[in-house]
Structure 1
Amino acid sequence: MQAFAELLDRLVLTPSRNGKLRLIVSYFRSAPDPDRGYALGALTGDLDLKSIKPAAIRELVTDRMDSELFRLSYDYVGDMAETVSLVWPGERRANRPPPLSEIVEALDGTTRPEAQRLVANWLDGLDPTGRWALLKLITGGMRIGVSARLAKLALADFGDVDVTEIEEIWHGLAPPYDSLFAWLEGKTGRPEPDIRAPFRPVMLAHPLVAKAERDNPDAVDPALITSDAFAAEWKYDGIRVQASSEGGVRRIYTRTGDDISHTFPDVLAGMDFEGTLDGELLVRAEDGESVAPFNALQQRLNRKTVSKKQMDARPAFIRAYDLLQDGDEDVRQLSFRERRERLEAFIAATASPRFDLSPLVPVTTLEDLDAQRMAPPAPEIEGLMLKRWDSPYLPGRVKGHWYKWKRDPYLVDAVLLYAQRGHGRRSSFYSDFTFAVWRDEDGEDRLTPVGKAYFGFTDDELKQLDKFVRENTIERFGPVRSVTPSLVLEVAFEGLQRSARHKSGIAMRFPRINRIRWDKPADEADRLETLEAMLQE
């Protein structure tokens, strides 16, 4: 466990992606089986570990120390695992740091009271870093800046194989991944689990960058964007998915390979075909024709079960972009033009309301495409996708084939109202910011919260914002502080939608802090009417 704890601690403190990769690879090389397999499962979110609620952890620690002292400590630190790891009053006895595998296997099938007793004993045997890692592991709150994709890339580096080889068999494997590590170390052949309807690594696009930015390696000469070379499609604001049906097995995957089939049984029921489609998961609006805002889809995501009422109220469907498998034929090496022709026939034969075809946008001039990008026919469209007609379907973000050309983000000036401590390496900083705009309430201008952002700023700007929060705090609510409404933030976002859940009546899509407007007075921030006007655009 101590080695795993040191890995997590160093991952939190390492900002660079390559640095994190090196740390994970080094751990895989030094850790024994099955510890490294369980660690991999924890990093990818595939470790089915009996979790313990934070309330149970709080009960454990307040049994050993004054509850008010713990409350004050938690308020200061802002993170439950970090607080407990620092204040835990360990009992002196012959304790030893338990191996990671011992923790995972002991919790498997145990009762909750017994699990709490085990956790207390383990906390006694670990140092503060080990306690922190243990609590992050068992509460399911890792938040260390490592995605499942990054962990798989580390595996690929460790075994000197292409990451697509790992992704193609991933769903047939389970922790502690003994056969996977044996293959990557050259001891056996590649595992070949019996998976029907497997995930196939997706093809991704580069942002379209003007050729004027010659230092950018992804820059494109606008003269190349012609109807002979490129097809154009609308880029919808949904979830990129892959729908695979093979031999009676039907699955829906996210772009990162997560299986979300159980959340969309209505779409699964419409997969009466043999093949694999690439497309956008969307929800139909009440008129049964147009696309509902992303918020409607969000109500369907991350649910363990979904009711008939929810499916009827928010009917999901997939707008198909591409065809990867046509019956038992893998068509990924065909050109996009050939795949598109097959896709049109495939969707026509499917004849299900749960699937339709992504329309092509005529390619004329770059100026005309630019105008359509900035003023698409529906608010649920984020911009354009440009795809070379001759491109095969290649895994990953391959240069020179596909480009995404999104609308420029919306910008609004808002006033900082609340700040909350972050997690992981940001746990000691106020890094989650709630902002507001002005509105008329009974003839008086008042600030109304319209969103929350926790990225878009540099590390130096984070320190400046944290300093502002601490020096301008009005009230405290646990890890949240309200501040003097004097600092203006320029907020960028992708779109707006109506929302009955918010007092302002609107919700922002992907808000982030674009600039800190130290120069702007708070009374010059935007008004709610400005945002409401954007809804009409």
Structure 2
Amino acid sequence: MERFAGLLDALVYTRSRNAKLKLVADYLRDTRDPDRGWALAALTEALDFPAVKPSTVRALLMERVDPVLFQLSREYVGDTAETASLLWPDPPAFGTPPTVAEAVDTLTHMTRLNAMVELAGLLDRLDAAGRFALLKMATGAMRIGISARLAKLAFAQAFAVSIDDVEEYWHGQMPPYRALFAWAADGAAPPVAEHVPHFRPFMLAQPFDGMEITMAEFAAEWKWDGIRVQIVHVASEVGGETRLYSRSGDDISKAFPEIVNAMRLPCVLDGELMVRGNHQGGAEGGAASFNALQQRLGRKTVSARMLADYPAFVRLYDMLSNGADDLRPLRWEQRRLALESLVPRLDPARFDISELIPVATLAELAAFRERARDDEIEGVMLKRRDSAYLAGRRAGLWYKWKRDPLLVDCVLMYAQRGSGKRSSFYSDFTFGCWTDDPDRGGELLPVGKAYFGFSDEELKWLDSYVRRHTVNRFGPVRETDRSLVLEIAFDSVHVSKRHKSGVAMRFPRIHRIRTDKPANEADLIATLRSMIRDAPL
């Protein structure tokens, strides 16, 4: 556990991406199984210990230190694991530190009844750095600047193997990834999961920046406003198994059983998950707004009422395999023909195909793109006709040309500190719009929250502003005076019964800090409402 703790400590204080890669690669190369496999799973947040929650850590600590001291320290530090690791009283004598594998085994077998005692026993065997590592692993909230993609790149770097191969073999393997390490480190045969409906890495698009291209070499299609998914069915003697994966490779099958149950053909398909449009912002039988889809996202189980009110379907983009035949090396045109042949055999209530846009020039496509917002579409896609299906973003093959964002001027209302490397800065900002002209009694109501869109220098400026303009405190939240205007960019806005303002933005981010504009000139909620597609007059 000491080496893993040392790795986390180094990663927290390392800003350079290449330096982080080297730290993780060195650890994976120099650490034995199964510790390195469990550490890799922890870094990629692939571990789950249901008995240990942040509330468990807080309750445990308040038994050993003054609760007021803990609350003040947590507010100052901004991270529960770090606060607990520093405040935890050192035992009279430390026991033998657990290995990563031993810690994982203990955490796995904890129950809600014994978690407090078992977790305390582990913490008493570790110093402050070890306690921090244990608690980060136990609660699954690393936030140390290591994404799953970065961890895979470090794995490839550690053992001098192709990142494409790592992406291909990673999925279908379970921690502590012994077969994966045996292949990369010891030259064993690649791990296989041919009888398991495993995830294949998505091919991604680069942003289109207006470069000159010839439409004869590219196909154009809509970029739909749902979530990218992959549906995989593997046949077997007992009927086979189907799984639905998100873009990050998470299995979301239980949340969308109607999709899983409708697929009975052995294949791997790439598409956009949406719900049918009998809702605000969606045409009858077509795709509803993203706001409707959000009613289904993040649910481990789904009720019959939810299935009926928000029926899901997949608009298909591509075909990666047909039974045992891997189609990814084929040209896009060939895969498209295979997909078009398959779609008539699928349930039309659950699957359809993303239609191509019939254009001959880029200027014609630009005109179609201008219509995107009216049709609840994110923009358009450009796909090179001879492109194979390759993992990740490959230059010159696929482009996404998103619609321009909407803009609105809002007033900063509240701020909260971030987590991880942002734990010392106020970086989460809540902003509002006026219910009416402020000179006629209008009040501000929150309409959104953003924590990105600004540079490091702007973050420092905003943090300083919050500290100088705080007028009230609510635990970790700071209320500011109503003086700073922020120009907010967002993709769309929808009716929301959950918010007092009655509206909710999609993907809000801070576009500009408007120190030049007085707060009473910020926009009204009515302005936001007017941007809702099919908004009532």
Normalising by structure 2, we get a TM-score of: 0.93
CA contact (8 A) 1:270 1:353 kept: no
Q: 2 CA distance for matches of 1:300 and 1:264?
A: 8
Deviation at 1:419, TM superposition (A): 0.4
Question: What does residue range 449-464 of structure 1 map to in structure 2 within 5 Å?
Answer: 449-464=446-461
Q: 1 CA distance for matches of 2:3 and 2:192?
A: 31
Matched, 1:233 2:221: yes
Deviation at 1:469, TM superposition (A): 0.9
Q: 2 CA distance for matches of 1:24 and 1:51?
A: 28
Q: 2 CA distance for matches of 1:82 and 1:70?
A: 11
AA at the equivalent of 1:170 = W
Deviation at 1:231, TM superposition (A): 1.1
Q: 2 CA distance for matches of 1:196 and 1:33?
A: 25
Question: What does residue range 38-117 of structure 1 map to in structure 2 within 5 Å?
Answer: 38-117=38-117
Gaps of 5+ in 1: 211-219
Residue in structure 2 matched with residue 10 of structure 1 by the alignment: 10
Residue in structure 2 matched with residue 195 of structure 1 by the alignment: 195
Residue 298 of structure 2 is aligned with which of 296, 302, 319?
302
SS in 2 for 1:112: coil
Q: Which stretch of structure 1 is more off in the superposition, 519-528 or 104-113?
A: 104-113
CA deviations 1:451-503 (Å, max 9, x no partner) are: 00001111221111111111111111111111111111111111111111111
Matched, 1:260 2:252: yes
Residue 16 to residue 195, structure 1, CA distance change in 2 (3 Å):
farther
CA contact (8 A) 2:51 2:110 kept: no
SS in 1 for 2:443: strand
Deviation at 1:414, TM superposition (A): 0.9
Residue 366 to residue 381, structure 1, CA distance change in 2 (3 Å):
same
AA at the equivalent of 2:526 = E
Deviation at 1:277, TM superposition (A): 1.1
Q: 1 CA distance for matches of 2:374 and 2:353?
A: 16
Q: Which stretch of structure 1 is more off in the superposition, 159-168 or 246-255?
A: 159-168
CA contact (8 A) 2:254 2:301 kept: yes
SS in 2 for 1:116: helix
Q: 1 CA distance for matches of 2:38 and 2:196?
A: 25
Matched, 1:325 2:321: yes
CA contact (8 A) 1:50 1:138 kept: no
Q: Which stretch of structure 1 is more off in the superposition, 364-373 or 21-30?
A: 364-373
SS in 2 for 1:168: helix
SS in 1 for 2:360: coil
Matched, 1:485 2:482: yes
CA contact (8 A) 2:437 2:524 kept: no
Q: 2 CA distance for matches of 1:529 and 1:183?
A: 59
Residue 16 to residue 410, structure 1, CA distance change in 2 (3 Å):
farther
Q: 2 CA distance for matches of 1:333 and 1:34?
A: 35
Q: 1 CA distance for matches of 2:426 and 2:70?
A: 20
Matched, 1:509 2:498: no
CA contact (8 A) 1:46 1:174 kept: no
Q: 2 CA distance for matches of 1:7 and 1:437?
A: 45
Residue in structure 2 matched with residue 215 of structure 1 by the alignment: none
Aligned length: 525
AA at the equivalent of 1:164 = D
Q: 2 CA distance for matches of 1:527 and 1:19?
A: 47
Matched, 1:270 2:259: no
Matched, 1:411 2:407: yes
Percent of pairs identical after alignment?
A: 54
Residue 153 to residue 335, structure 1, CA distance change in 2 (3 Å):
same
Q: 2 CA distance for matches of 1:521 and 1:531?
A: 19
AA at the equivalent of 1:229 = E
AA at the equivalent of 1:147 = S
SS in 2 for 1:497: strand
Residue in structure 2 matched with residue 214 of structure 1 by the alignment: none
Question: What does residue range 205-224 of structure 1 map to in structure 2 within 5 Å?
Answer: 205-210=205-210, 220-221=211-212, 224=213
Q: 1 CA distance for matches of 2:197 and 2:88?
A: 48
Residue 142 to residue 335, structure 1, CA distance change in 2 (3 Å):
same
Residue 242 of structure 2 is aligned with which of 221, 246, 250?
250
Q: 2 CA distance for matches of 1:159 and 1:311?
A: 46
Deviation at 1:128, TM superposition (A): 2.5
AA at the equivalent of 1:239 = I
Matched, 1:387 2:383: yes
CA deviations 1:284-341 (Å, max 9, x no partner) are: 1216512111122222222221222211111111000111112332222222222222
Matched, 1:171 2:171: yes
CA contact (8 A) 1:168 1:198 kept: no
Residue 187 to residue 398, structure 1, CA distance change in 2 (3 Å):
closer
Residue in structure 2 matched with residue 474 of structure 1 by the alignment: 471
Over aligned residue pairs, what C-alpha RMSD do you find?
2.0
Residue in structure 1 matched with residue 445 of structure 2 by the alignment: 448
SS in 1 for 2:435: strand
Deviation at 1:379, TM superposition (A): 4.2
Q: 1 CA distance for matches of 2:507 and 2:471?
A: 28
Q: Which stretch of structure 1 is more off in the superposition, 191-200 or 80-89?
A: 191-200
Residue 346 to residue 207, structure 1, CA distance change in 2 (3 Å):
same
Q: Which stretch of structure 1 is more off in the superposition, 496-505 or 87-96?
A: 87-96
AA at the equivalent of 2:474 = F
Residue 333 of structure 2 is aligned with which of 330, 333, 337?
337
Q: Which stretch of structure 1 is more off in the superposition, 147-156 or 119-128?
A: 119-128
CA deviations 1:174-225 (Å, max 9, x no partner) are: 1112222122112422222453333222211111112xxxxxxxxx31xx23
Residue in structure 2 matched with residue 496 of structure 1 by the alignment: 493
Normalising by structure 1, we get a TM-score of: 0.93
SS in 1 for 2:487: strand
AA at the equivalent of 2:230 = Q
Gaps of 5+ in 2: none
Q: 1 CA distance for matches of 2:152 and 2:516?
A: 45
Residue in structure 1 matched with residue 434 of structure 2 by the alignment: 438
Matched, 1:370 2:366: yes
SS in 1 for 2:378: strand
Residue 48 to residue 76, structure 1, CA distance change in 2 (3 Å):
closer
Residue in structure 1 matched with residue 146 of structure 2 by the alignment: 146
Residue 369 to residue 172, structure 1, CA distance change in 2 (3 Å):
closer
CA deviations 1:477-531 (Å, max 9, x no partner) are: 1111111111111111111111111111111111111111122211121221221
Q: 2 CA distance for matches of 1:38 and 1:284?
A: 41
Residue 306 to residue 16, structure 1, CA distance change in 2 (3 Å):
farther
Deviation at 1:89, TM superposition (A): 2.0
